[in-house]
Amino acid sequence: MNERSFTTTFSVEQSPKEVFDAVGNVRGWWSEEIQGNTNDLGDEFAYRRTDLHRCRMRLTEVVPGKKVVWRVLDNYFSFTTDQAEWKDTEIHFEITRIGDETQLQFTHVGLVSEHQCFDVCSKAWSFYINSSLRDLITTGKGAPNPRETERSDTAA
C-alpha cells in the first residue's frame, strides 16, 4: 500500500462484527444521500454532496469482520481542476482485534498530498471516519450528511 496515501486509525471496545456492520451502513455515517447497495461484493453505490462532490463506488473486497475495499469508478469535484484525482483510487477499511479492542484502519489509497483536493478530502475523511463512523459504532448514531431535500426544507 502507498505509504503516502491518507490513513487514519481508531480503536473501540465493540466487536469486529459490529465495526464491520457499521462500515457497511454508509448511510448511517457518510451520507443519507447514498444511492445503491453498500454491503456485498460487487455492490455499486453513488454518493452526492450538493454540487460539490459526486462519486460512484464498487465493493471489490468484502471479508466479514476483517476488511472492506471500495474502488472509485467515477468522481467529480466542483473545486478541482483534475476530475480524475479520485478515479481508480481505493478506499480500505481494515478491522483487527487487538486485545479487548477492535482497531479500524481507514486508508484512501491514492489520495496523496499532491492532489488539489487533499486538504479538503483528508479533513472530510477525518470527520466521517473518526467522528461519524466511530460514533455510529459506539453509540448507534453517526452524523452523516442529511438528505438534500431535508436540508432545503429546514433552510426555508
Question: Please, which residues have CB within 8 angstroms of residue 95's CB and are 6 or more apart in sequence?
Answer: 16, 19, 20, 23, 65, 66, 67, 102, 103, 104
Indicate the average pLDDT of the chain. 93
Residue 82 predicted with pLDDT over 60: yes
* pLDDT classification of 84: cutoffs 50, 70, 90: confident
Residue 137 predicted with pLDDT over 70: yes
pLDDT tens-place string over residues 27-54 = 999 999 999 999 999 999 999 998 899 9
Rounded to two decimals, the pTM is: 0.91
Q: What is the pLDDT of residue 55?
A: 96
Q: For strand 53-63 and strand 67-77, is the pairing parallel, antiparallel, or unpaired?
A: antiparallel
CA 67/CA 16 separation, integer angstroms = 10
- What single-letter amino acid sits at 75? N
Backbone φ and ψ of 88, nearest 5° = 70, 15
Q: What is the pLDDT of residue 11?
A: 98
Average pLDDT in the 97-119 region?
96
- Grid coordinates representing 54 are 459526486
What CATH topology corresponds to 6-155? Answer: Alpha-D-Glucose-1,6-Bisphosphate; Chain A, domain 4 (3.30.530)
Average pLDDT in the 140-145 region?
97
> Could you tell me the residue ranges of all domains in the chain?
6-155
Residue 155 predicted with pLDDT over 50: no
